[in-house]
């Protein structure tokens, strides 16, 4: 019975996290099953672990050495950029290498997408692409100050 409750609660929290970005194109990445692949890492944080940052959800997918998935991420982020209320984007050689997108939600909350992509620079160095989705009450200026300044 205890194992059943653990599995049930994990399914419930996965459902909540999966539905968070449902109105965005990047939901395809998070709901794709890519996290089961060897070349993909997924992180999901929710609740108390994010309270210090005034966030309610943090979700990321990072892919290493898979240009097909990286290209799909890039295209989906570009689609979501059309709906963003605030954005910063950088391209290199015609490809998106960085994006920060902000979306105003109800109740004074915001949703954010970060995208970063590095291409293979030397033999034996794999290309990496990552999409991060965050939600919370942190304003776009606070997010920029906290995450985008060096």
Phi first, then psi, for residue 36 (nearest 5°) are -80, -10
Question: Are 104 and 85 in contact, with CB atoms under 8 Å apart?
Answer: yes
From the list 18, 16, 37, 14, the residue with the least C-alpha distance to 27 is 18
Q: What is the pLDDT of residue 107?
A: 86
Instruction: Give the model confidence (pLDDT) of 75-127 as tens digits.
Output: 999 999 999 999 999 999 888 999 999 999 888 899 999 999 987 665 555 78
Sheet of 55-64: strand order equals 40-46, 55-64, 128-136, 110-118, 95-104, 86-92
73: nearest Cα among 62, 65, 84 = 62
């Amino acid at each position: 019975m205890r194992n059943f409750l653990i599995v049930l609660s994990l399914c419930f929290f996965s459902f909540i996290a999966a539905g968070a970005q449902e109105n965005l194109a990047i939901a395809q990445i998070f709901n794709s099953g890519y996290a089961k692949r060897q070349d993909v890492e997924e992180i999901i944080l929710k609740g108390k672990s994010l309270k210090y940052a005034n966030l309610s959800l943090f979700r990321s997918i990072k892919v290493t050495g898979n240009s097909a998935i990286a290209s799909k991420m890039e295209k989906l982020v570009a689609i979501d950029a059309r709906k963003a209320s605030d954005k910063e984007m950088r391209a290199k050689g015609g490809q998106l290498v960085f994006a920060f997108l902000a979306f105003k939600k109800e109740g004074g909350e915001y949703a954010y997408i970060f995208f970063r992509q590095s291409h293979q620079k030397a033999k034996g160095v794999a290309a990496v692409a990552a999409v991060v989705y965050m939600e919370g009450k942190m304003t776009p200026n606070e997010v920029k100050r906290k995450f985008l300044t060096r």
